[in-house]
Amino acid sequence: MIELTEKNRNDLLEELLKICKTHLSEVNEDMITRAFKLSYEAHKNDFRSSGEPYFLHPYQVAIIVASEMPLDDISVVVALLHDVVEDTEFSIDFISEEFSPEVAEIVDGVTKISGVFTGQDITQAENYRKLLLSMVKDVRVILVKFADRLHNMRTLEFVNQQKQRRIAKETMDIYAPFANRFGLGKIKWELEDLAFKYLFHNEYEQIAKQINSKRKERETYIKKFCAPLEKKLIEHGLRFEISGRAKHIYSIHKKLLKQNTTIDNIYDLFAIRIIIESNDPNECYYVLGVTNELYKPIERFKDYISIPKKNNYQSLHNTVIGIDGKHVEIQIRTRIMHEIAEKGVAAHWKYKENFNQNDNELEDWVNWVRDIFHNVEKTEAPREVLSSFKLNLYQDEIYAFTPKGDLKRLPKNSTPVDFAFEIHSKVGYNCIGAKVNGRIVPLNTMLHSGDQVDIITSKNQKPNKNWLQFVQTLKAKSSIRKYINQEEERIIESGKEIWEKKLKKLKKVIQQEDFAKIVRKLKYENYNQFFTAVAHNTLNLDEIISPSEKLIEKHIEEFEFDDFAEFARSSNKGIIVDKEYSGIEHSFARCCNPIPGDPIVGYITIGEGIKIHRRDCHNLIHMVKSAEHKLVPVNWSTEKGASFVAGISIRGEDKPGLLSFISNTITSYNNSNIKAINISTKDSVFSGSVAVFVNDLDHLNRLIERLKKNKNIFQVERFDATSS
């Protein structure tokens, strides 16, 4: 184990303060010093896998934050303290008191992220929502987390191979593309290369070896290529920096796969970057003209200055034929553009005043995050949210224009409906058609870069559920779902109002308990379904709310089955749910009222967990036609030799000794036991129910057949919701 002496610590602190003063506009030395000392005190007894003191990890994270994504001194303090609350006895309240509520809030945000970024194993949508909220609230949360992950990747060699692969995959899947979305180009490239190294070590080493073997040759060529260009730019009085640009290993790997070629044939291994010291974008185009005078351009020009990427990346990309016919890629950008390309949101913050931009500009960096979660319902499946999140990270962009020439960036495969919602939610809601490049097209038409899209609206048009099958953006999906949910709520309120007016007109009062029984008898899952049916006028309320007391009593009496069903289920050991869905609440569907012994299956609902249905339930069969993926394997929990309670409904002519016959018939077959019996007579006719312990459904059916043999019994059937 390596110990840090007091002199070592003083040297480290001095180095950190020096870096902060070099890169930050303001530095609160006292605050950084106190954070440094607290971080050391909290971690002084902890060591990393490498044998180094754990304190060196938050220290290096602070160095990265201060030098590679410089924002402010608060970010440096948070970097020093980011593991203190999670790994030691110090609390968030303590951090707040010792430093400030601002520092504590960001530290808390970083701590929450640590438990949420777990690839596809995210299980709680609310935790995921907190992650996104924390990022939008203060972007420094995610910047510190990027620095934390970058240092972990730089020291990944000291952990076991299995952990290396898990962390590398998580970095490749989430962190690297996420860093790209925040404009952190330099960090994105390093994360990708390091992750590639641990996921595909042989391929990484092979490409690295090939690049190094030709390094001198490449450097000589770049120097020879740049000489006449440099001379020309000086003649034109331009202030600039010109240099060779190293191609990243993972980027080369992707090109080798995509182009099915060898490393010798990748043209942009020879690449240079020209950084203009002036902040005038027009000078970039001037330099472009100079390069095209010297070298013949080919059709690989991209203008990211006029149309920046979504992460605000700006640059001109031009490919020319250089010396010996080799293709050379040239990137041309201003100094500010370069800073933003390398350091993303941190550089944007730094140069904000120079740009004289409004207060909302900074939030544009995280608008795509807001699109993901802003209107997402709390009940939405967390895997769907994660899927959308990762889709947004990886999707290529297209850009389309309004008839007035306004630019809208959208994910690849977006449709006119996505475009409409990008303009405004109201435009999306009222979208009835679209013209693309002057031609009317279906709403599910895929758009392409450069398309001019004219949205046709109508006040009478409302969002259609079918739109959810083809829209791409989270903003469109969430807005459509939100509207549909609000519309359903309006219909429910309308149905409730009709119901209450009808009760008042008939001067009728129905107790809540009795109302619940009536709703269940009509085979509705909940009150909302009942009120929706009322609003759609599919129920005869006069028949339900009759002045006749006998009819009301009939509705209520028929619900004796509910009591029996609850009793039958409580006598069983419960439901076994597939382990993938364990922990999710479940309840029994009212439409088919399954009881122990019935073949059953689970169905995932939104907001009500898993509903247990009988396999032959008509409602279930109808629902799964379009949602088979929502079925969940479930079984009754039974022990070997265990029995369950079943019900038998029985009617017949009231004759002496009939009750004795029923009891003897049941108990004499296969050691059957009666749990309860309820018989009533009226007008020489008896009716009732018997609760009996049986081994399985075959046992129950044989009992029913034996009872039917008595000539005075004219109806025997299983007691369930349909026979009550």
pLDDT exceeds 70 at position 335: yes
Taking residues 471-495, what's their average pLDDT?
Answer: 85
Calpha distance 407→392 (Å, rounded): 19
Choice among 64-73, 122-131, 301-310 with the minimum mean pLDDT: 122-131
What pLDDT is recorded for position 98?
93
Half-sphere exposure of 43 (CA within 13 A, CB side): 26
What pLDDT is recorded for position 579?
66
Six-digit token string for 18: 């020096």
What pLDDT is recorded for position 119?
43
Taking residues 503-524, what's their average pLDDT?
Answer: 76
pLDDT exceeds 90 at position 506: no
370 vs 48, higher pLDDT:
48
Choice among 114-123, 226-235, 471-480, 594-603 with the minimum mean pLDDT: 114-123
Containing H/E element for 653?
A: strand 644-653
pLDDT exceeds 50 at position 370: no
Six-digit token string for 50: 């490498």
pLDDT in tens, 644-703: 677 788 888 888 887 888 888 888 887 778 877 777 777 778 888 888 887 777 788 888
pLDDT exceeds 90 at position 708: no
pTM score, whole prediction? 0.52
Q: How would residue 363 be classed by pLDDT, with cut points 50, 70 and 90?
A: very low
SS3 label, residue 494: helix
Taking residues 528-533, what's their average pLDDT?
Answer: 84
Six-digit token string for 162: 């299995």
Q: Nearest-5° angle of CA 583, CA 584, CA 589? A: 135
What pLDDT is recorded for position 373?
41
What pLDDT is recorded for position 4?
82
137 vs 422, higher pLDDT:
422
- For residue 573, how far is the Cα from the chain centroid? 35
Containing H/E element for 690?
A: strand 685-694
Six-digit token string for 8: 């070592």
- Phi/psi for 214 (5° steps) reads -115, 15
pLDDT in tens, 284-320: 999 999 999 999 998 778 888 988 877 778 899 998 9
On whether the CB atoms of residues 238 and 289 are closer than 8 A, the answer is no
Specify the amino acid at residue 332. I
Question: In degrees to the nearest 10, what's the CA dihedral of 151, 153, 155, 161?
Answer: 160
Calpha distance 520→588 (Å, rounded): 12
21 vs 341, higher pLDDT:
21
> CB atoms < 10 A from the CB of 716, how many?
21
Per the rule left: phi > 0, alpha: psi between -120 and 50, beta: everything else, 409 is beta
Q: How would residue 640 be classed by pLDDT, with cut points 50, 70 and 90?
A: low
Containing H/E element for 368?
A: helix 367-373
Q: Which residue's structure tokens are 């016959």?
A: 661
Choice among 190-199, 210-219, 274-283 with the minimum mean pLDDT: 210-219
Q: How would residue 549 be classed by pLDDT, with cut points 50, 70 and 90?
A: very low
> CB atoms < 10 A from the CB of 643, how many?
21
Domain boundaries, the chain: 6-197, 209-355, 369-482, 488-552, 575-636, 644-718
Marked catalytic residue, from 11, 83, 86, 418: 86
Six-digit token string for 564: 């029996």
CATH dotted code for 209-355: 3.30.460.10
545 vs 108, higher pLDDT:
108
Q: Which 8-state DSSP code applies to residue 47?
A: B
Calpha distance 376→478 (Å, rounded): 6
What pLDDT is recorded for position 123?
36
Output the average pLDDT for the chain: 78
What pLDDT is recorded for position 420?
94
Q: How would residue 558 be classed by pLDDT, with cut points 50, 70 and 90?
A: very low
What residues form DSSP beta bridges with 588? 612
Q: How would residue 547 be classed by pLDDT, with cut points 50, 70 and 90?
A: very low
What pLDDT is recorded for position 365?
44
- Domain covering 369-482 assigned CATH 3.40.30.10 in the classification: no
328 vs 140, higher pLDDT:
328
Calpha distance 88→217 (Å, rounded): 52
Calpha distance 323→697 (Å, rounded): 86
Q: How would residue 583 be classed by pLDDT, with cut points 50, 70 and 90?
A: low
Task: Report the candidate in 331, 365, 367, 335 with the shortest Cα–Cα distance to residue 348.
Answer: 365
pLDDT in tens, 403-425: 887 878 788 889 999 999 989 88
87 labelled catalytic: yes
Looking at the chain, the whole-number percentage of residues with pLDDT higher than 90 is 24
Which range, 134-148, 368-382, 434-448, 639-653, is most confident? Answer: 434-448
What pLDDT is recorded for position 34?
95
Marked catalytic residue, from 52, 87, 361, 653: 87
Q: How would residue 193 be classed by pLDDT, with cut points 50, 70 and 90?
A: very high
371 vs 195, higher pLDDT:
195
Q: Which residue's structure tokens are 């006895």?
A: 89
pLDDT exceeds 60 at position 29: yes
Calpha distance 44→435 (Å, rounded): 66
What pLDDT is recorded for position 353?
41
What pLDDT is recorded for position 41?
92
What pLDDT is recorded for position 288?
94
Taking residues 36-63, what's their average pLDDT?
Answer: 91
Calpha distance 55→555 (Å, rounded): 71
Long-range pairs of 240-246 with CB within 8 A, sequence gap ≥ 24: 240/274, 240/275, 240/276, 240/277, 240/287, 241/274, 241/275, 241/277, 242/272, 242/273, 242/274, 242/275, 243/272, 243/273, 244/218, 244/219, 244/271, 244/272, 244/273, 245/271, 245/272, 245/273, 245/329, 245/331
Q: Which CATH superfamily is domain 644-718 in?
A: ACT domain (3.30.70.260)
Taking residues 387-413, what's their average pLDDT?
Answer: 70
pLDDT exceeds 50 at position 139: yes
> CB atoms < 10 A from the CB of 190, how many?
19
SS3 label, residue 675: strand
Pairing of strands 685-694, 673-682: antiparallel
> CB atoms < 10 A from the CB of 577, how many?
21
Specify the amino acid at residue 143. L
pLDDT exceeds 70 at position 157: yes
What pLDDT is recorded for position 580?
63
Specify the amino acid at residue 413. N
CA terminus-to-terminus distance, the chain? 76
On whether the CB atoms of residues 104 and 77 are closer than 8 A, the answer is no
At the topology level of CATH, where does 6-197 sit? Answer: Hypothetical protein af1432 (1.10.3210)
Containing H/E element for 337?
A: helix 335-343
pLDDT in tens, 450-474: 889 999 998 888 888 889 889 988 7
Looking at the chain, the whole-number percentage of residues with pLDDT higher than 70 is 78
pLDDT exceeds 80 at position 566: no
Six-digit token string for 58: 């938050």
Calpha distance 609→597 (Å, rounded): 22
What pLDDT is recorded for position 632?
82
Burial of 614 (0-12, 13-18, 19+ CB in 10 A): buried
Q: How would residue 2 be classed by pLDDT, with cut points 50, 70 and 90?
A: low
Contacts of 457 (CB under 8 A, 6+ apart): 420, 427, 430, 431, 432
Taking residues 546-565, what's their average pLDDT?
Answer: 45
